[in-house]
Amino acid sequence: MFPKNLYIPAIDDIENIFEDVQETMNRELPTPEKDTTEKGILDLIKNNGGIRKSSATGEWEYRPRKNSDVGFRHYDGNLSEQEALVKLKEDL
């Protein structure tokens, strides 16, 4: 699971172990930069199924991962779809 060249400090050098491991992991497995432009956010919303109105609650819902509540957002059902989309873009 960990890269082969992961630096493991000596027992007496344990003070900075978390920083060392984090630096190594970030170097070996970099995370992509988040595209915060309006087009990038709209693409993210579109690629995740968009925003939709729940038939059960009547609220606008955005779920970035199918069948998961991680990142789930909901907005007042009285808003228009465009208004709910604007609020979602502000939150992302």
Whether residue 18 is found in the same domain as residue 45: no
Q: Judge if 42 and 87 occupy the same domain.
A: yes
Q: What integer pLDDT is reported at residue 12 of this predicted model? A: 56
Q: How confident is the model at residue 24 (pLDDT cuts 50, 70, 90)?
A: confident
DSSP three-state, residue 60:
strand
47-82 pLDDT tens trace: 877 888 888 889 988 888 777 777 788 888 888 888
The tokens of 36 are what?
A: 């915060």
Cα separation, 60 vs 50, whole angstroms: 10
In total, how many domains does the chain have?
A: 2
Q: Find the domain containing 56 and state its range.
A: 38-91
Strand order in the sheet with 60-62: 52-53, 60-62, 73-75
Note whether 52 and 79 are same-domain residues: yes
Claim to verify: residue 43 and residue 27 sit in the same structural domain: no
Per the CB < 8 A criterion, the answer to whether 70 and 64 are in contact is yes
One domain for residues 87 and 42: yes
Same domain, 16 and 53: no
